[in-house]
Structure 1
Amino acid sequence: MASLVRQLQSKAAVATEIAAKHGSSYYKQLLENNKQYIQSEPTVQKCQELSKQLFYTRLASIPGRYEAFWKEVDYIKQRLLARNDLKLEEVGIAALFAGECYAWFCVGEIVGRGGTLTGYRV
């Protein structure tokens, strides 16, 4: 067990050394590759303008998303009306998805109330 911990520590030290050595060059390269997205004048007014543009762009996209949502609902309705033609694979995927959504809801409720999944508080 002690040798495993030492191996893990040495690998972590090597990874830290590599990150320290190449981190700044990666950062500079990332900024250079994406310089078209960087504002030349980073002022408060420019930031406020960009946030308003984002907000109103998102607001303008609501009708398109609304239509896409109702298309999906219509598709599901059609599939349910023709449920005799459904394959077992499609039913299984739908059941798995519903179960996963329900499980996430339950886990969210447990965590939101301050509980833990195992029942033990740390």
Structure 2
Amino acid sequence: MAARLKQLQSKACQATQFVSKHGSAYYKQLVEQNKQYIQQPPTVEKCNELSKQLFYTRLASIPGRYESFWKEVDYVKHMWKNRHELKVEDAGIAALFGLECFAWYCAGEIVGRGFTFTGYYV
């Protein structure tokens, strides 16, 4: 166990040295590549204005999202009505989607309990 800890400390030290040598160059390159997204002047007031713009833009997009949601619901209703015409591929995709939703639910439950597995006897 002590050897593992020493190895982990060594790896962490190497990673820290790499970041300290190359981190600032990477930061400068990243800022330079994305300078069209940087607002000038970079003030608190500008940040507040941008956050309000984002909030109200998202708020304004709700009716479009609402309409898209009901279109999807209508599509599912139509597919359910005509389920005798359903292809195996469509049924497989629906099953995989359901399985993925269940897996995300289970993962969320595990994370919510603090990564503990309860109710299982090993």
Q: Give the TM-score range, shorter chain.
A: 0.7 to 0.9
Matched, 1:56 2:25: no
Gaps of 5+ in 1: 1-9
The one-letter code of the counterpart of 1:59 is L
TM-score, with structure 1 as normaliser: 0.73
Match of 1:38 in 2: 38
Residue by residue, what CA displacement relative to the aligned partner does 1:19-77 show, whole Å, maximum 9, x if unpaired? 55443222212111111211222222111111100000001111111111111111111
TM-score, with structure 2 as normaliser: 0.73
Distance change (3 Å), C-alpha of 1:12 and 1:109 = closer
Residues 1-122 of structure 1 mapped to structure 2, 5 A cutoff: 19-114=19-114, 116-117=116-117
The one-letter code of the counterpart of 2:47 is C
Matches of 2:36 and 2:26 in 1, distance apart?
17
Counting matched residue pairs gives 119
Cα RMSD over matched residues? Answer: 3.2
Residue by residue, what CA displacement relative to the aligned partner does 1:59-100 show, whole Å, maximum 9, x if unpaired? 111111111111111111111111011111211221121122
Quick one: percent identity of the two aligned structures?
71
List structure 1 segments (4+ residues) > 3 angstroms apart after TM superposition: 10-23, 117-120
Gaps of 5+ in 2: 1-9
